[in-house]
Structures are given as structure tokens and as C-alpha cells.
Amino acid sequence: MHNNYFFLQKLVVQLRQSLMYARLKQCFSQEKDELVLGFERQNGEDFWIKCVLGSQFSILQFPDQFHRAGRNSVDLFSELLLAEVQAVEMFENERAFSIHLLGDFVLVFKLFGNRSNLILFRDSTYQSQFQGRLKNDQSVDLKQINRQIKQDYQAFIENDCEVASLFPTLGKEGLSYLNRNGFETLEAQDRWRLIEQMLDLLDQQVFFIAESEKGVYLTLFPVDEFLYKSTDPIEALNKLYSFHFSIGEFKKEKNLILVALDRKLTKTQNYLDELHRQKVLRESNVPYEEIGNILMANLHAIPTNTSQVILDDFYRNQPIKIKLNATLSAAQNAENYYRKSKNYSKEVAYWQSNVDKKCQEIIHIQEQISAVELTETRKALKSFMSILTQAKKPEIEGNEIPFKQFEVDGWVIWVGKSAKNNDLLTLKYAKKFDLWLHARDVAGSHVIIRNPNQKVVPKYVVEKAAGLAAYFSKRQSDSLCPVIVTPKKYVRKTKDLLAGQMIVDREEEVVLVKPELIE
């Protein structure tokens, strides 16, 4: 709640006491997403505000002193230098406050989580801002930031007992407090009494810093276990800043490493399971050498130009159906099976080496997980940071790609979201050995089965992906849908085609599937 409206109200009271008539002596940045403001107070003392406004974490810190680096720093908001602070004001019902300086300057501190920024106005007109990436802040109207909302019982009733409309800055913790106390089950009057009880808590000048699974946080609500307790908002922010990097970042990095290892372990285990499944299938088939022997024993009974034959399997005393190459003689087909038998031993040896390798990988990953779980400091965690680097590429593929993503036993499936997005998927992201799927003869999403290792995609994986292609198409409500399946290398686009339209030079296969999502 360190960027919450109710906390900022108390911070502004203290800033007003500390900054009135102080002069801004320095304003510079020497780190990305970090702005430092240095004021000289009337008594000659320095007052520093360090604004950390990152996309992952934003906070104001108030160091006792700050030494500017000799290099790699840049002056900002230079028109404010030596200007005297005239007022520090809190905006109504908004996570923002302003410092008014001589010359009709207003520096707005907009503390909107990952969209936090400092915006400079003069005579109520936008001048500049710190975070240039937040383009929408250029159109912020200074006169419209205040939100005057009637917040009494009558307004509560008129708004159908909706909390969010009356208290838009309450935040997740406030709503959670209400829910924990049975807000939804109460009558209107009791609901309002609970809101008043909550507002009394938020009005108290007591701040707790505590830990959760997500890291270290500041709250105005009492907690049973806490790292620090203070009645000073500036002191509370300084402690939170310190705890965030000493404890919160450690926990975050540790959790990221464990998640990466767990993902790697699951992927490796799935691969090993697939190898064992292959063994079961292989052992359930008749050995190639025995098929060759059966063919040689029945050369006289095998007609020419046939693609399969049913013969007596004298090993098992039952009929056996044998596939043949119709262009070859019976003896030549038998020779083919003998050759496959010789290659079979090599395949088994390769299979066994893969199994051994994956078993060792699993043991190693499990040892890494145990070691990371035992670490208690960021220094001890440093030796495992390379795991995050190794996991970076798949993480980008999984979390930052602009497509829907599904997974079946380690096989990654991408689904386009729109016509233009389909073009992006097929023409920019898909590789030539990936499988491309699309519902036949109707509009729908392009679907890609990633195949970076150029393996044979299992039939059940193809069917699952085909179900997605059918589901994200105009045939979604059909009981069965035909789906084109072909390597991406056979799919192309010419300039005259509209967005999402493709030419399929070769349909390798058309499968008939039920349109359905992957759970």
C-alpha cells in the first residue's frame, strides 16, 4: 500500500512540513527509471527524494544524503532549479500529489504502480515528463486529476452498495479486508458500518512492513507478524525500500529460479515418459527380423504388385498383416525388413543413451532444486542465476509472444488471435519444419505446432492442435471439422492476398476432429 491514496495522504502532510519554502538545488537521473530531487531547506539542511519508477517496482525513498556520480548522469527539469516550494498538495481520490514551485510550476508525482511518472506543468499547461515511454501522460489535464466523490451512506445506497465506485483508490488490500469480514453477506447498514470501521483503520498513523509469498509490502492494516512498525511515513518508505532489495528481491529471484527449475524438470520428465512409451510400442510390435523370416518362408504365396499381405505367423500361431512396397518383389521386401532389423539395434542403443541422459538430467535438476531451497541470502543465490539466463528464451516464447499458447506433453502450440496476427504467426514466428494447421474451407486461426528439433510430431498432439484450429474457426459449433495439417514450408502468401489469407502448396494431411479447447 506504499502507493495507496490513504498512505500518500499521510506522506504529503509530512512532506509539506519538510519542504515548505525549500529550494530545488538538484534534479538529475543517473540510473534508468530513477530520478533524484535535492532540496535545500530554510535551515540549510538537505532534503533528498529518490523516485524509483520502474515497470516492476516503484517507490519514493528519502536518503539522508546522496552523492551524485561524476559520470552517466543527466540534469532534468532544469527550469525548476532554484525555484522555491510554495505548497505540497494531495489530489482527491487519486494516487498522486503535487509540489508547487515559484513561477507557477507544478510537479505532479503520479504513483500508478508500473505506470508511475513525474509530470511537469506550468500555468496548468503540460511541459514535460520523466518517463517518456508513458505517452498518454502528455495528455493529462492538471485540472481533471482531482476526483470529487460524495462518500456517505446516502451515496452508498444510491450506488447499489458498490464500494469501488465510492472509493476507487481503496486497492486490493481494502477490498480484501471487506471480503474477509463478510461484506457480501451483510445488509446495507452493516456494510456501511464495516466500511467506516475500515476507514478508521486507514486513518491511523501506523504502518506495518510485512512479508508475503510475493515479497515485502507496506500496509496500514494491522498484521500479526511484521518486519517493521512505524508511525513515520518517510521512515516506513525507507525501511520498505531497504527490505525490498534485501529480502523481497531475494525471495522473488529465488522463486523465479525454482519455477524455472520446476518447468525444466517437468519438461525432462515428459520427454522421458515419451521415451518409455516408445519402448512399450516397440516391444508390442513384431520384430523386423521375424517379419523378414515369415516373408521368406512364404515367397510362393505372395502376389506381385501388392501393398500388404496376410500370412501365417508361425512364431505366434496366428495370422499377421504385413505392409509391403508394391514396386518390389517379395524377396526384396524381406530384405528391407532385414535391413530395418539391423538398424533397429542402433535405434535401441540411441534410445537407451537418451534414457540414461534424461535420468541424469532429472537427478541433477532435483539436486539444484534442493540446493536453491536451502539458500537464505542473495549472495548464496548468485551461483544459480545462470538458470534464469538459460530459461530466458523459452520464457520469452511462453510469456511475451503475441499469440494464444497451449502445451501438450512438452509440445508448444501457438494460435493466432486475428487476421493480422495470423500473418505474424505464420510468416514471422513459424519455422519451416513447424506444423501448420487450419480449419478447411472456412475462416479461422492459424495454428502452429512448434518443432525446433525436427522430430515426428505424435499423432495425438496433432489431433489436439487440430481441435484448437477447429475451435478457433467458423466451424466451432460443428460436431466434426476437417483440418489441414502440413509443414509450414508449404504455406506461403502473395501480395494480392488479404490479411490472414495463405496459399497451401501441399496438404500433407486432413484430419477430422471435434472442435475443442485443450484443458
- Are 347 and 297 part of one and the same domain? yes
User: pTM score, two decimals?
Assistant: 0.55
Q: Quick one: pLDDT at residue 85? A: 96
Nearest alpha-carbon partner for 366 in 460, 504, 301, 269: 269
- Cα–Cα distance between 67 and 438 in angstroms, integer? 61
CB 427 within 8 A of CB 414: no
Q: Which residues pair with 330 in a beta bridge?
A: none
CB 485 within 8 A of CB 509: yes
Q: Is residue 383 part of a domain?
A: no
Q: How many of the other CB atoms lie within 10 Å of CB of 160? A: 8
Query: Where a domain ends, among 361, 392, 410?
Result: 361
* 334-352 burial code (b ≥16 CB/10 A, e <16): bebbeeebeeeeeeeeeee
- Are 239 and 285 part of one and the same domain? no
C-alpha cell at 393: 528464451
Q: Quick one: pLDDT at residue 390? A: 67
Q: Quick one: pLDDT at residue 360? A: 94
Give me the number of domains the chain comprises.
4
CB 105 within 8 A of CB 121: yes
Give just the sign of the alpha carbon dihedral 423, 424, 428, 434.
negative
Q: Quick one: pLDDT at residue 350? A: 76
Give just the sign of the alpha carbon dihedral 70, 76, 79, 80.
negative
- Are 409 and 330 part of one and the same domain? no
- Are 23 and 113 part of one and the same domain? yes
pLDDT tens track, the chain, 519 positions:
899 999 999 999 999 999 999 999 999 999 889 999 999 999 999 999 999 998 888 999 999 999 888 778 899 999 999 999 999 999 999 999 999 999 999 999 999 988 999 999 999 999 999 999 999 999 999 999 999 999 999 999 998 998 988 999 888 889 999 999 999 999 999 999 999 999 999 999 999 999 887 788 999 999 889 999 999 999 999 999 988 877 777 877 888 899 999 999 999 999 889 888 888 877 778 888 899 999 999 999 999 999 999 999 999 999 999 999 998 999 999 998 888 887 777 777 878 888 899 999 999 999 999 998 888 777 788 888 888 766 554 444 444 689 999 998 889 999 999 999 999 999 999 999 999 999 999 999 999 999 988 889 999 999 999 999 999 999 999 999 999 999 999 999 998 899 999 999 988 899 999 999 986
Q: Quick one: pLDDT at residue 375? A: 86
- Are 416 and 458 part of one and the same domain? yes
Domain span at 75:
5-144
Question: Per-residue DSSP letters for 198-211?
Answer: HHHHHHSS-EEEEE
CB 268 within 8 A of CB 356: no
Q: Quick one: pLDDT at residue 346? A: 74
Q: Is residue 251 part of a domain?
A: no
Query: Where a domain ends, among 113, 144, 175?
Result: 144
CA 472 to the chain's CA centroid = 23
- Are 201 and 74 part of one and the same domain? no
Q: Is residue 394 part of a domain?
A: no
C-alpha cell at 409: 506433453
CA-angle at 173, arms to 171 and 178, nearest 5°: 100
